[in-house]
Structure 1
Amino acid sequence: MINFSKTAEKFPMAAPRLLAISVITFCSISSASAASISWSTGPNFGGPNGHLGILTNGSLVEAINLAGSSTASPITVDPAGINITFSTVNSPFFNANWSSATGGGNTDPGWSAILNTFEWQTGANVTATDFLDGLIAGHQYQVQFFAARTDCCGTRTHWFGDGEGNLSTPINGNTYTSILGTFTADDVDQTIQFFDSSTNPILNAYVLRDITPAVPEPTTWAMMLAGLGLLGFSVRRSKAA
């Protein structure tokens, strides 16, 4: 660490410059960064069994329902099956919310309620530099976005980005096709971009999961090594015979 008081005594003209360099360096280290995301189309999430399109691999980090309110009760989807609870939020990244009565034709009350609401940005695409936070650098994540509406705008398309130039395939706004993004976090935050052909992007909900491969326990490694040792011993015996 630089001792600015002593530096100022020896080099009075150098201290301000060193301080400025240190501040710039600190800011560059502290600022949020965006990892590259690999995008793909996911399962359909509309129709009577649309809730079964919610992926359950890995471990759940968060499930979020964007409804323009942070006081509404959480919503549990398919309690007898996938049993996933969505927290209802008022996202700071969108400036409007909407409620329709279609629900994607889903028979699960919870999922239907989630699909009945969405948040949207009026007249502008969105770059949210810390849309996903609380990440662990080096961990692998999968985010599943749910964005659809049937009450209007069937010719519109929407897609997503990571701030690094990687974009998902445009999806028609009323097809109820989810979008998957997989990435390895390089910081605690992750940038997400929301695009719409009419510059009015929407989002109903999303699910973030940690899909980092499990590291074997020490006992598992010991058993694997013991197995390899026995295999090598058997091979040597067979050659000797």
Structure 2
Amino acid sequence: MNALVFPIGSVVLGLTIIPQNRWKRVFALNRKAWAWTLTFTVLAFVAIWTYWIGIKMMDPTLASFLNRTETLVTIFLGFVILGERFSKREGLGAILVLVGIVLMKFTLRVEYSTGFWVVLFSAICFGTAEFIAKIAVRYVDPLTLSFVRNLVSAMMFWVAVAFVGTSFSGVGSVFWGVIIIAIMGPILTRPIYLAALKHIEVSKVALINQSQPVFVAIMALVALNQTPAPREIIGGLFVIGGCLVIILGRKKAVTKA
């Protein structure tokens, strides 16, 4: 799937940087910009690849909860290396978000299998990749960074596909699904996310980004008539409430400054 999604993203984003000769920015990147961009790209690739390997070896529910560890990794790196801090109100919002994540994703199923460690490794890579992205946007604008990341990721996934011999049978039946994923993921979401990283602390972006499952649940309810469990609804309210507190808390802090 990723071997199809990233090439589509590369083509579309490539077309968007042609106007006004924005493509020249790719060739104008210095060594430091390339170093951070490629580090971010490789870490994200490893995270995605190992997550799908790990989830095949363990309970998907536990894998989904374990994967949320990426948020803690990003926050830790933001605090220790970048010196990021939360105001009291933002700290309250962070706690609400984390509690919401636990309520939505927590499972009592525990298995220290190979899959467990693979998914945990994937989460650490995801969290570190977002931290690296925060540094990368200091040297590369979000759109150019997204294009390069898509292009390099596409090449790496095709090398991986050739190496493991993945079959593409049945892709035709989900063709439009692949197109939608490409549009909503690499083409729209990632550039917007990187733009947010350029202006907001990575620890806060990581927390606000955890509202994703809430919108997935809403779409599942509307499109598939799948009603979320009570604890998922409560957890979702905690996450949304926490995100709002973080946003309002940051807005107040910026206003005072």
TM-score, with normalisation over the residues of structure 1?
A: 0.21
Larger relative strand fraction: 1
Relative contact order, CA 8 A, sep 6+: which one is greater? 2
Asked which structure has the greater CA Rg, the reply is 1
TM-score, with normalisation over the residues of structure 2?
A: 0.20
